[in-house]
Structure 1
Amino acid sequence: MQPDRSIAVGFVLAALILAMDIATKAAVLAWMEYGASLEWLPVLNIVHVLNRGAAFSFLHGAGGWQRYFFIGIALAASALLVYMIRRAGTSHTERISYGLILGGALANMFDRVARGAVVDWIDLHWGSYHWPAFNLADIGITLGAAFIIFHELFGRKQARPARG
């Protein structure tokens, strides 16, 4: 029996998200002072901020314990995602989704271990209204979650009851 190539695709996507995120954050750290902002497009700034919390800076100011809490969550989620990618019966779309999420989780975990906080550098805004800054790892996680939702809503074949 030939191995399922979509398993490799999931892990390659995870590695790509991880590598691209590490590279872009390294560029921001090397070229920008902390707190700096560079207008790049009318709706996009490149910034250098640190997030000690999670999405939307949840628990950012919690005092430090959240670093270890989020590292633990990332480790547990990563182990589950590796299992789900390798599991028989996981669809190609699900493996792609899990790979994107895995790469993002590992990349943000890497930041928490190495720096104590996640480097965010993408600042989308409309006039004075700014979305919270984010990074490529966050994009991987968000795309992976969106693909799973889309797959669940529209991609699965509906089981039809047997007539008898």
Structure 2
Amino acid sequence: MPNMNLFKQTGLRWLWLAALIFIVDIAIKLVVMNSMGYGWANRIEVLPFFNLLYVHNYGAAFSFLGDQSGWQRWLFTGIAIAVCGMLMLWMRKLPKAEKWNNIAYALIIGGALGNVFDRVIHGFVVDYLDFFVGNYHWPAFNLADSAICIGAAMVILDSFINNKSDSVDSAQK
């Protein structure tokens, strides 16, 4: 069975992490939607710098294009699906032992699909984490957003590390 070997021997083996992020993200969002009142007035103060709340995000990061008529829902869904497809192709080319990049890609995929699920099913993304300092609040976000940011940071860090080691290798030649 060549397809099963492809899954076992390549980075696709790490898709379990994407599935875990997706499932946990959707589960948390369902709990938030079913147990919390909507909006800032219904926030739960957890720590002096952190609240739980239930808000809708009709846009992308930082509510980018959130005030548009609804076309952005499908734009962001399409972009997320295309990026997930591209990352899965890259994972297919990487060996399973290439943990750093495979984990990064899986985090991005799991987070992106969690937010795609929200956009397709609800028409908005459910956000529930609110961090702040004084009166300055970071825009509300969720587990999916966190996974995407961590995965993207890992990709960027890897590009610096590999770029530096490539420069050292070529300087030694």
| TM-score, normalised via structure 1 length | 0.90
Which residue of structure 1 aligns with residue 126 of structure 2?
A: 119
Alignment partners' CA distance in 1, 2:162 and 2:104: 13
Does structure 1 residue 50 correspond to structure 2 residue 56?
yes
Taking only aligned residues, the RMSD between alpha carbons, in angstroms, comes to: 1.9
Does structure 1 residue 141 correspond to structure 2 residue 148?
yes
Which residue of structure 2 aligns with residue 110 of structure 1?
A: 117
- Percent identical among aligned pairs is 44
Partner SS state of residue 126, structure 2 = strand
Q: Please point out which of 76, 90, 95 is paired with 2:102.
A: 95
Once superposed, which parts of structure 1, at least 4 consecutive aligned residues long, lie more than 3 Å away? 88-91
AA partner of residue 158 (structure 1):
D
Q: Any idea what the Cα deviations from partners look like across 1:68-94, whole Å, max 9, x if unmatched?
A: 111111111111111111114683211
Does structure 1 residue 158 correspond to structure 2 residue 155?
no
Partner SS state of residue 61, structure 1 = coil
Long gaps (5+) in structure 1: none
Partner SS state of residue 62, structure 2 = helix
Report deviation, 1:5: 6.2
Report deviation, 1:158: 2.2
Partner SS state of residue 38, structure 2 = coil
The structure richer in helix per residue is 2
AA partner of residue 148 (structure 1):
V
Q: Please point out which of 28, 34, 42 is paired with 1:30.
A: 34
Report deviation, 1:155: 4.8
Deviation larger for 23-32 or 154-163: 154-163
| TM-score, normalised via structure 2 length | 0.86
Alignment partners' CA distance in 2, 1:64 and 1:88: 37
Q: Any idea what the Cα deviations from partners look like across 1:36-55, whole Å, max 9, x if unmatched?
A: 21101111100100000000
Q: Any idea what the Cα deviations from partners look like across 1:27-66, whole Å, max 9, x if unmatched?
A: 1001111112110111110010000000000000011111
| Aligned 8 A contact 2:80 2:112 in 1 | yes
Partner SS state of residue 166, structure 2 = coil
Alignment partners' CA distance in 2, 1:8 and 1:107: 19
Alignment partners' CA distance in 1, 2:65 and 2:139: 14
AA partner of residue 101 (structure 1):
I
Report deviation, 1:110: 0.2
Q: Any idea what the Cα deviations from partners look like across 1:110-157, whole Å, max 9, x if unmatched?
A: 000010000000000111110000000000000001111111112564
